[in-house]
Amino acid sequence: MTRAWNFSAGPAALPEAVLRRAQQDMLDWNGSGASVMELSHRGKRFMALAAEAEASLRRLLSVPEGYKVLFLQGGATQHFAQIPMNLAGPGDHADYIVTGHWGEKAVREASPYIDARIAATSVADDYLKLPPRDTWKLSPGAAYVHYTPNETIHGVEFRDIPDVGDVPLVADLSSSILSEPLDVSRFGLIYAGAQKNIGPSGLVVMIVRDDLLARAGRPMAKIFRYAEHAANDSMLNTPNTWGWYLAGLTFAWLEAQGGLVAMGETNARKATVLYETIDGSNGFYRSPVEVSARSRMNVPFTLHDAALDAVFLAESEAAGFLALKGHKAVGGMRASLYNAVSLDAVNELVKFMRDFAARHG
């Protein structure tokens, strides 16, 4: 079996060591005589797994006291709606910083439950840059400020954490969580769909400050209330045990790589290699994103002649590279450089890109 170089934006590559461990455990996990998917989530074995996964994540991110870690379901999109349900009451408003497709969707899904105000946006710039901080119009009394640190489709990324004063900062970190160290204490709530840097789709990891769990929110069923999930150790209902198990393996793999400092250094090298290839191609390849806003995780790029797009994609796939087609909203190409994408994979990609440019330039 030959594994391809996988640059998918999500569901994305998982570390090969994690997949091999899962393969090894598939029929007999932890000496149980069954797969982890076949055992009770309330049994001693799984409860120990869950506790270790949380402990590993807390170590990786240096999660301070006063925060709960939740393993939820629904994908980030569900939580676009569920967050205002939990953090705001009737008549409340929240500020949204919109820098791409997922920020737009967060506003749209929140709007039935809260007065979602767009405090800043870069839509006029086609989401190719970030809105300057002095243009943000944060409103007094906001329940929270929401932003997307990394936009997967448009390839823009905040390289700092915005200062929004005493208002809780909420971040959709789906495509950049665990890619480098993060000061969790700067946030009120962090959430991330697992399918990019954590594990398989169907799991959401959330880190939420205790005082926000105590907010009354609005009337809703218990299953939607984060405080209920926290009180029940994320087992208010049957959780995604397979996703939780693979997330725990991924956390352990990250610790074995040297943690998030080492991972951040590797991710920076990968992005530098690819952007230098694009910028040094004499215009054959182009990055449309403003340099200061370029994402390390998702690198969209175009060819100087769009007529070559189909040729590039066909040849790259034949050469063993997966999922380099850009999102339909922006076109072109996109290479996603999540944690499980090795520096070797990026080096192979840039070799192909240079060869392609030499043959088609």
Write the pLDDT tens digit of every residue in 84-140. 999 999 999 999 999 999 999 999 999 999 999 999 999 999 999 999 999 999 999
How do residues 317-356 score in pLDDT, each as one tens digit?
999 999 999 999 999 999 999 999 999 999 999 999 999 9
Does residue 106 lie within any of the structural domains? Answer: yes
Q: Of 68, 172, 233, 253, which residue is the catalytic one?
A: 172
pLDDT score recorded for residue 84: 97
Per-residue pLDDT, 361: 86
The yes-or-no verdict on residue 166 having pLDDT over 70 is yes
Residues 228 and 302 in one domain: no
Q: Do 170 and 47 fall into the same domain?
A: yes
- List the catalytic residue out of 196, 253, 270, 325: 196
Share of the chain above pLDDT 70, in %: 100
How distant, in Å, are the alpha carbons of 2, 85, 95, 204 from that of 88? 50, 6, 12, 21
Q: Does one domain contain both 117 and 193?
A: yes
Among 234, 256, 278, which residue terminates a domain? 256
> Both 231 and 333 in a single domain?
no
In a domain, 8, yes or no: no
Average per-residue pLDDT for the chain? 97
Q: Is the pLDDT of residue 1 over 80?
A: no
Residue 333, domain member (yes or no):
yes
Active site residue 305: no
Same domain? For 266 and 283 the reply is yes
pLDDT tens-digit series, residues 256-289: 999 999 999 999 999 999 999 999 999 999 999 9
**Domain span holding position 328:** 258-360
Would residue 72 count as lying in a domain? yes
Residue 2 pLDDT exceeds 90: no
Active-site choice (5, 29, 102, 253): 102
Indicate if 172 belongs to the active site: yes
Is residue 44 annotated as part of the catalytic site, yes or no? no
> Does the residue 334 lie in any domain?
yes
Do 305 and 159 lie in one domain? The reply is no
Same domain, 229 and 280: no
Answer with the one of 227, 256, 285 that is the final residue of a domain. Answer: 256
Domain harbouring 348, CATH code: 3.90.1150.10
Q: Give the number of domains in the chain.
A: 2
